């Protein structure tokens, strides 16, 4: 082969792909610039859009909070990026988030990534809009009223007490608490929300549901490609396992006239409401007492003010989800920038907590900061662990009750030591401890 042939071969092998890549990058830049609304005089927020077609999704998925912190340091409280196949503006800070959350149905509307919509289903509350969302939320809130929560308290306390007894009786120098807590919370959810009784789920069957739920959550934010072994495929398969079990439970409930266990679970309340109003129950739309001296109820729990502050401080430092997704219904102005119509908007919960001027010594765990005055009263969008506005989490009061009961039972039943010290937390997509929290427990008897 002659010299000219070698040069031509080298050009085809190395130079041509490079030129094609550079051309793609240039076209990508032009596309990103052209998506700006020319009728609005304001500039787009600062930021980068990443690689052609892929955007910055891979960096965000792999680096998570490290990637987001780098972006915040470089671009501030509002910046543009390209995530999950769409141009996106990420927003943080109480005033900016307030503008987004209070603009629901007027400036923005909920729109989660395609993989989330596919796995959760179009009938899920988080995917409904306008009147449908308002009606469905009103129905679901019946299952989280104060009266309903009062009925749930003894069941939660029973499960927590039994779990702590197992932990104290476990052999070995330590217990990996995080997977154990996940199993406990899932078991409580199955009983309280879906009416599963302990005898209905064998350990193997319960573990299968726990693993299916974790697999579904793990693959919520994945590429919207439903092929074998893809994240979306695995997420849908896990969802179908859970749906099959719930459907089996619904059939059993419809065959019974009276609820088991002496209380009505959330699913029972929703079934009664939908049947009483002649509505159909859409599967994708739902998702022995302790001794009297230890009995908790809503009145007692509401008096535990400092316990509530401990829970709030925990949620401030580690909110359960990092943020929420919206889509701009029209080109809107935010803090000197434009967000074009059709762009995704992500409001950040964790970053909003991090940058809130309301909190001093932000890295310090200090429940006293929530004693008085309450941050929610003076600046309610500085503290948004459950979101805010029309789409705040429907189960937030249930979550607070559950966390209070767990905290009380843990504090009066045993002492404990985190063997690795304060945990390192990661997000994927929910917050979790990297080391699974190896813990040593020491039992004692105590009162509230």
Confidence band (pLDDT; 50, 70, 90) for 448? very low
State the number of CA atoms in the 13 A half-sphere of 28 facing the CB. 20
Q: Which pLDDT does position 134 carry in this prediction?
A: 82
Higher pLDDT: 196 or 410? It is 410
The pLDDT score that the predictor gives to residue 287 is 37
- Could you tell me which residues are beta bridge partners of residue 8? none
Q: Quick check: bond before 248 cis, omega within 30?
A: no
Residues linked to residue 348 through DSSP beta bridges, in sequence order? 323
Q: Average pLDDT, stretch 354-368?
A: 90
Helix or strand (DSSP H, E) at 415: strand 414-418
Residue 285 is predicted with a pLDDT of: 42
Count CB neighbours of 358 within 10 A. Answer: 14
Give the count of beta carbons closer than 10 Å to the beta carbon of residue 146: 10
For residue 118, the model assigns a pLDDT of: 87
Q: What is the pLDDT confidence band of residue 274, given thresholds at 50, 70 and 90?
A: low
Q: Confidence band (pLDDT; 50, 70, 90) for 291?
A: very low
Note whether 412 and 448 are within 8 A (CB): yes
Exposure string of 147-170, with b = 16+ CB inside 10 Å and e = fewer, is ebbebbbbbbbbbbbebbeebeee
- pLDDT score recorded for residue 264: 63
Place 160 in a pLDDT band, splitting at 50, 70 and 90: very high
Q: What is the mean pLDDT of residues 43-66?
A: 84
Q: What is the rounded CA–CA span in Å between residue 436 and residue 175?
A: 9
Q: 32: which 2 tokens?
A: 């990103």
Which pair of structure tokens corresponds to residue 329? 């219904």
Contact predicate 283/247, CB 8 Å: yes
Label residue 286 by pLDDT band (50, 70, 90): very low
What is the pLDDT at residue 295? Answer: 79
The span from the CA of 403 to the CA of 385, in Å, is: 14
pLDDT reported for residue 33: 58
Average confidence (pLDDT) over 87-113? 92
Q: Map residue 385 onto helix, strand or coil.
A: coil
Average pLDDT on 76-91 reads: 92
Please, which residues bridge with residue 87 across strands? 82
Q: Which tens digit of pLDDT belongs to each residue from 295-336?
A: 789 999 999 999 999 999 999 999 988 899 999 999 999 999
Q: Which pLDDT score is estimated for 279?
A: 54
Cα separation, 34 vs 54, in Å, equals 18
Other CB atoms within 10 Å distance of the CB of residue 118: 19
Among the listed residues 152, 165, 160, 150, the one whose alpha carbon sits nearest the alpha carbon of residue 300: 150
Average pLDDT over residues 156-165: 92
- Per the model's pLDDT, the better-predicted residue between 279 and 159 turns out to be 159
Question: From CA 97, how far away is CA 91, in angstroms rounded?
Answer: 7
For CA atoms 248, 250, 253, 255, the dihedral sign is: negative
Is 56 within 8 Å of 83 (Cβ atoms)?
A: yes
Residue-level pLDDT at 438:
94
Q: Residue 185 pLDDT > 80, yes or no?
A: yes
Tell me what percent of the residues of the chain surpass a pLDDT of 70: 78
Domain ranges, ordered by start, for the chain: 125-443
Residue 65 · residue 33 · CB < 8 Å? no
Tell me how many degrees the CA angle 227-116-434 measures, rounded to the nearest 5: 95
**pLDDT at residue 46 tops 90:** yes
Tell me the pLDDT band of 219, cut-offs 50, 70 and 90: confident
Give which of 240, 226, 244, 400 is closest to 308, Cα–Cα: 400
Work out whether strand 175-176 and strand 332-334 pair parallel, antiparallel, or are unpaired. unpaired
Q: In whole angstroms, what is the distance from residue 224 CA to residue 119 CA?
A: 10
Residue 54, classed as helix, strand or coil, is coil
CATH of domain 125-443: 1.10.630.10
Give residue 280's pLDDT band: very low, low, confident or very high (50, 70, 90): low
pLDDT at 194: 76
């Amino acid at each position: 082969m002659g010299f000219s042939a070698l040069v031509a071969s080298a050009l085809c092998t190395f130079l041509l792909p490079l030129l094609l890549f550079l051309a793609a990058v240039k076209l990508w830049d032009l596309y990103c610039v052209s998506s700006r609304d020319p009728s609005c005089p304001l500039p787009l927020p600062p930021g980068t859009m990443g690689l052609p077609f892929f955007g910055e999704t891979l960096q965000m998925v792999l680096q998570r909070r490290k990637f987001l912190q780098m972006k915040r340091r470089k671009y501030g409280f509002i910046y543009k990026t390209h995530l999950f196949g769409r141009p996106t503006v990420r927003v943080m800070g109480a005033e900016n988030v307030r503008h987004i959350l209070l603009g629901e149905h007027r400036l923005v509307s909920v729109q989660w990534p395609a993989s989330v919509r596919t796995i959760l289903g179009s009938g899920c509350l988080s995917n409904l809009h306008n009147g449908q969302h308002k009606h469905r939320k009103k129905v679901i809130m019946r299952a989280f009223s104060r009266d309903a929560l009062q009925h749930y308290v003894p069941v939660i306390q029973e499960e927590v007490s039994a779990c702590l007894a197992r932990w104290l009786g476990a052999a070995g120098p330590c217990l990996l608490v995080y997977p154990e807590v996940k199993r406990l919370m899932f078991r409580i959810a199955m009983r309280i929300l879906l009416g599963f009784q302990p005898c209905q789920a064998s350990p193997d069957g319960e573990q299968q549901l726990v693993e299916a739920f974790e697999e579904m959550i793990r693959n919520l934010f994945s590429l919207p490609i439903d092929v074998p072994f893809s994240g979306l495929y695995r997420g849908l398969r896990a969802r179908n396992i859970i749906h099959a079990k719930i459907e089996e439970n619904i059939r059993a409930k419809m065959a019974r006239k009276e609820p088991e266990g002496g209380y009505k679970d959330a699913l029972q309340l929703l079934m009664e409401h939908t049947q009483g109003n002649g509505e159909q129950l859409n599967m994708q739309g739902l998702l022995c007492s302790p001794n009297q001296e230890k009995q908790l109820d809503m009145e007692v729990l509401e008096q535990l003010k400092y316990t509530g502050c401990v829970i709030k401080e925990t949620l401030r430092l580690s909110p359960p989800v990092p943020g929420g997704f919206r889509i701009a219904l029209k080109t809107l102005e935010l803090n000197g920038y434009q967000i074009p119509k059709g762009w995704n908007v992500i409001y950040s919960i964790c970053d909003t907590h991090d940058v809130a001027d309301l909190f001093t010594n932000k890295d310090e765990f200090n429940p006293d900061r929530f004693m008085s005055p309450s941050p929610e009263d003076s600046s309610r969008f500085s503290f948004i662990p459950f979101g805010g506005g029309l789409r705040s989490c429907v189960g937030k009061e249930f979550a607070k009750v559950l966390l209070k009961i767990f905290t009380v039972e843990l504090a009066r039943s045993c002492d404990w030591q985190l063997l690795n010290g304060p945990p390192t937390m990661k997000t994927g997509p929910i917050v979790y401890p990297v080391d699974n929290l190896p813990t040593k427990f020491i039992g004692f008897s105590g009162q509230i």
